Structure 1
Amino acid sequence: MPKIRAILTDIEGTTSSISFVKDVLFPYSRERLPAFVVTHEDKPEVQHWLHEAAREAGLVSASEQEMIDLLIGWIDSDRKSTALKALQGMIWADGYRDSDFRAHIYEDAARRMHAWHAIGLPIYIYSSGSVPAQKLLFANTESGDLTPILSGYFDTETGAKRDSASYTRIATAIDLPATDILFLSDIVEELDAARLAGMQTTLLARGTEGCPADSQHPCAVDFDSVEVDVS
């Protein structure tokens, strides 16, 4: 295989625990979304994403309460909506600012990302969360501000994470052959799409069960176990 010249990594279940997103971030945005919409809907950026959410839902017009109900429903169903993720990111920004929480990151992920950065290996993030939300998360982790060691961010504006074309676009944006990029994720379907685009892949199988015996991708139980050939 070609040597690895860049790392592309998922967040939830890969660098950070699923429980942080499900049990901290989602409830925080759900609780505060109604008041946020009421007090911020006159702001151009908020207006833009509310209009995008309405368009995505096929609504020609919608009341303030209808939009709130729609977005709450999307949070509850974990809808991968770019508009929802953008609005959630604005709400989470307040939480980070007010120190209501710090972002979880696995200690091995933070340590290994620092090590990769130290040898000149660029690290990119690809998550369904908006780019601003990603930047906030990595700027406010339990291991400190990790944004200085990250080279770029991608979200669903690039494309769906289970669509191989998204990874082709990312490789083009990074300006590297897809074969020189290693993608890390805990979701097999995302890894399948990345491999179809030509990327190298590794499944992160955190937890007590470990790597599945029938894994079609190289597998690691943590970042320390990820094999990275840069020679």
Structure 2
Amino acid sequence: MTIKAILTDIEGTTSAVSFVFDVLFPYAKQHLPEFVREHAAEPDVAAQLQAVRDDSAEPDASIERVIEILLQWIAEDRKATPLKALQGMVWQQGYQAGQLKGHVYPDAVEALKNWHQAGYALYVYSSGSIQAQKLIFGCSEAGDLSGLFSGYFDTTSGHKRDQASYRSITSKIGQPAEAILFLSDIVEELDAAQLAGMATCALVRDGGALEGHPNFSSFAAIEPSAF
């Protein structure tokens, strides 16, 4: 079946892993405590803080204890939805202040623009919150790329190594699974997408190979019509 939609991961795929670990995570770690203290009473923030209490089974945790839990989750690189949501809020402030610029590989920028122009519907699926995804592309070093995308998916659609997540996303995109091409640098994610019926493409920017999937070192070499 002809590919109609392209679903892409971010970290290690469109963007450098180092940007996330060396820029975004340290920024969130530095600024999150102050952000939580200043905005704890706001409904959107309060809801996420309550979710932290629920997830950690500490219903009466104080604001300072919640901050402590969040910093521990950052240290563990835990894919916790309330942490991702709060990080996204902190990063938004950083992007708006001009302190952060989203990294997107030049080959990814060019390919995404070409695919969009060619009529492919483009989507993002990342463990980072939808808000954080929009910020990376909307405030990128290459300018505002947000207009290229038809939708975004995060862990609220399920974990990235679970095929059920890809079935859910397929339903939301509204295309048959075999008409969707998924791009990632993680073989377990590619395996899950493949089991859900999607076409898959592995990004191996640093060399090596991900078994069971076509491998590419750059977006420039990917031709969606070949899948």
TM-score, structure 1 normalization: 0.96
% identical equivalent positions = 50
Q: 1:5, 1:230 within 8 Å by CA — same for their partners in 2?
A: no
The SS at the match of 2:212 is coil
| Whole-angstrom distance in 2 between the partners of 1:111 and 1:90 | 28
Q: Which residue does 1:203 correspond to in 2? A: 202
Are 1:63 and 2:59 an aligned pair? no
- Tell me, in whole angstroms, the C-alpha distance in 2 between the residues paired with 1:105 and 1:85: 20
Aligned length: 227
Q: Corresponding residue for 2:86?
A: 87
Q: Distance in 2 between matches of 1:135 and 1:34?
A: 23
Paired letter, 1:217: H
CA RMSD in angstroms comes to 1.2
- CA distance in structure 1 between the aligned counterparts of 2:191 and 2:181, rounded to whole angstroms: 13
Aligned to 1:165: 164
Q: Which runs of 4+ in 1 moved over 6 A?
A: none
Partner residue, 2:219 = 223
CA contact (8 A) 1:219 1:226 kept: no
Contact 1:16 1:106 in 2 (8 A): yes
Gap runs ≥5 in structure 2: none
Name the residue aligned to 1:134.
133
Per the TM alignment, residue 60 of structure 1 is displaced from its structure 2 partner at its CA by: 2.0
Q: What is the CA–CA distance in structure 1 between the aligned matches of 2:110 and 2:41, rounded to whole Å?
A: 42
Which residue of structure 1 aligns with residue 107 of structure 2? 108
Unmatched tracts of structure 1, length 5 or more: none
Following TM superposition, by how much is the alpha carbon of 1:228 offset from its aligned partner in structure 2, in angstroms? 1.0
Helix, strand or coil at the partner of 1:76: helix
Equivalent-residue separation in structure 2 for 1:157 and 1:191 (angstroms) = 19
Q: Which amino acid aligns with 2:211?
A: S
1:174-185 correspondence runs (5 A):
174-185=173-184
